[in-house]
Amino acid sequence: MAEGKKHGYAIIQGVASLSDGDVELKAGTLYAMLDRLTFDGVIELAGEEIVEGRLRRYYELTPEGTTMLAEESKRRVKVSNIALRRLRFVGGFA
């Protein structure tokens, strides 16, 4: 959702694509997560449309959710950079 609003199946596809197919999000797990993230104020409803007779409901990050994601991403980048620096130091990584 960092790149914009997404509907349920698009999120499933996004997770599969981001993880190179390693993580296969089940529909039940998706709605459990959407409920939890909505409850926590991380995401919110962004619109809905009917496509081929099917309801698509879109979700997007709230301002708080965007801040949380940015902070968590920075933290992970920082940890990864430290790990890479240490690997280079011991010659384990070109």
Partner 1 sequence: MTKESERSRKLLNFYPKAYREERGDEIVATLQEAAEARVPRASLSDRISVAQYGVRVRLGLTSETMFGKALDIAAIPGLVMGAFFGLYLLISGDLPVVNSKFFYPNFGPFLTVGPLLYLVWILGVVVVFEWPQYRRRIAGACMTLTIIGELLAKLAQRNPNAWEIAILVSLGVPSLLAPDVYVTRRRVWPSLSVGLATFAALFLVTDSHANPGFYTSFYWYGTYEIAHRQPFVDVFLLALFAVLWVTKRREVASAALILSSPWIVVGVAYPLSLQYLTVSALNVIALVAWAVGMALIVTTSRYRPRPPSSVEVTALNPGA
Interacting positions 41-70 with partner 1 (CB under 8 A): 44-57
Q: Is 75 in the site for partner 1 (CB under 8 A)?
A: no
Q: Is 73 in the site for partner 1 (CB under 8 A)?
A: no
Q: Are 69 and 2 in contact (CB under 8 A)?
A: yes
Site membership for partner 1, residue 39 (CB under 8 A):
yes
Distance separating alpha carbons of residues 38 and 6, to the nearest angstrom: 14
Q: Report, in Å, the least distance between residue 10 CB and partner 1.
A: 9
Q: Are 17 and 25 in contact (CB under 8 A)?
A: no
Instruction: Report whether 21 contacts 2 (CB < 8 A).
Output: no
Q: Please, which residue, 27 or 84, has the CB nearer to partner 1?
A: 27
